[in-house]
Structure 1
């Protein structure tokens, strides 16, 4: 399976398990994660959720082959009804505390999803990127609001517009990471922190999370705007050029687009 799930000692672990494809995420993987997180809401045994990848990489983001195929197959289907959106909505709505352990690269949605986790622990040599503009698309799932709010407009613009990879230290400085650790300590530390959450009063943790996110109605509305724009741009000429160039293994040429 490309997504491994396990439940032990109050912790639900969701693990990317597709190392041969750099943990690139398919629609089926998104659906599995959405179903798992939604099911955890009514599971009293689950008191914390841990999301992790492999020691080599967290995730390369969307599997572009699957993404292109499913986008074509779902022509006419609202973007809001697709598995990727279902996953992010489940993560956004989760009342259980969510901990992330990040080693290696977290690309695209791999970085975006961290903005919706509660505790994020990363290797000091991890890399992050949000390359949506370079793909003829736009930021997704609140990143165009959360990244400037956390790190300031200038630094957020550099990440969101240029789409270049940035270091774990930069991610920490911008408030995306709770703590940086040596690579071989990340998962164990995240598991220990999740265990601490399990031992605390569950209702207190849920209410603390709810209160911390009390102002997110504006964020939710912003996410809807982003999703509509992202869905519209998927069929645009610039996105088609970006995806075609990727599959043809060449540099995209956006000079012909105004």
Structure 2
């Protein structure tokens, strides 16, 4: 378990919080492992009727902690790499999951939302998937799911050009299910979770499973292809140059 992932249980809710606000909730390898374990473990937890996913502080997440992530050697079975375990757990998850997003949702901070059942975006938040600018490719089956959701041209704008977008655009393309006024994210999350918990639990789980069942195989297959490309790209000169430039700008 990572000290930067807070897991709380109560009243039928498994609450998962990215708790590294001093680093904008940038996700380390240890955090990926903790997130994967928590979401995969919910399947066998009868007390978990609902999962919520949040970020502490100003941002949902700044995405990968690049310095930490690059230490992870993508060798052997990719299924054992913590980030891929998390993505697989999200894709196969059968417990309704609600994400609440404020501030920045960068990279995997956006793509993981494709696997949440409901997404509440706070006004002023910013989604961005800068994979290509880092010499990488999309992950989380976003190269499949985003064109299906928003159309190929919109997907190209955000995956090829890496253009950011806000809460209203996320709602329009179907990535967000709700938009919360600034400062009212927690209140809307509480209302949505209360409404879900008031539903008959078995009917809700079965419906969530039905909503996902039509493309689980396609999502898993696309994730495998993306992961292989992603691992290969990490060793490329393009990625080394792009990440060196990133750290130089930050310095």
TM-score computed with the length of structure 1 as normaliser: 0.92
Distance 1:159 1:9 in 2: 38
In structure 1, the gaps of 5 or more residues are: 251-258
The CA RMSD measured in Å over matched residues stands at 1.5
- Partner of residue 248, structure 1: 248
Question: Partner of 2:8: helix, strand, or coil?
Answer: strand
Quote the residue 1:40 is aligned against.
Answer: 42
Contact kept? 2:55, 2:61, Cα under 8 Å: yes
Q: Is residue 217 of structure 2 the alignment partner of residue 212 of structure 1?
A: no
Note if contact 1:49-1:194 (Cα within 8 Å) is conserved in structure 2: no
Q: In the alignment, which residue of structure 2 is the partner of 1:179?
A: 178
Task: Report the Cα offset of residue 120 of structure 1.
Answer: 0.4
1:130 and 2:120 are equivalent in the alignment: no
Deviation at 1:191, TM superposition (A): 2.5
Q: Secondary structure at the match of 1:165?
A: coil
Q: Could you say what secondary structure the match of 2:76 adopts?
A: coil
1:162-241 superposed matches below 5 A? 162-216=161-215, 217-241=217-241
| Unpaired runs of at least 5, structure 2 | none
User: Following superposition of structure 1 onto structure 2, how do residues 112-123 of structure 1 map, counting pairs within 5 Å?
Assistant: 112-123=111-122
Q: How many residues align?
A: 248
* Contact 1:50–1:191 (8 Å) recurs in 2: no
What TM-score, normalized by structure 2, do the two folds share?
A: 0.94
1:55 shift after superposition: 4.5
Which residue pairs with 1:83 in the alignment? Answer: 82
Contact 1:140 1:230 in 2 (8 A): yes
Aligned to 1:24: 26
What do the CA deviations read for 1:209-233 (whole angstroms, capped 9, x no partner)?
1111122122221111111111111
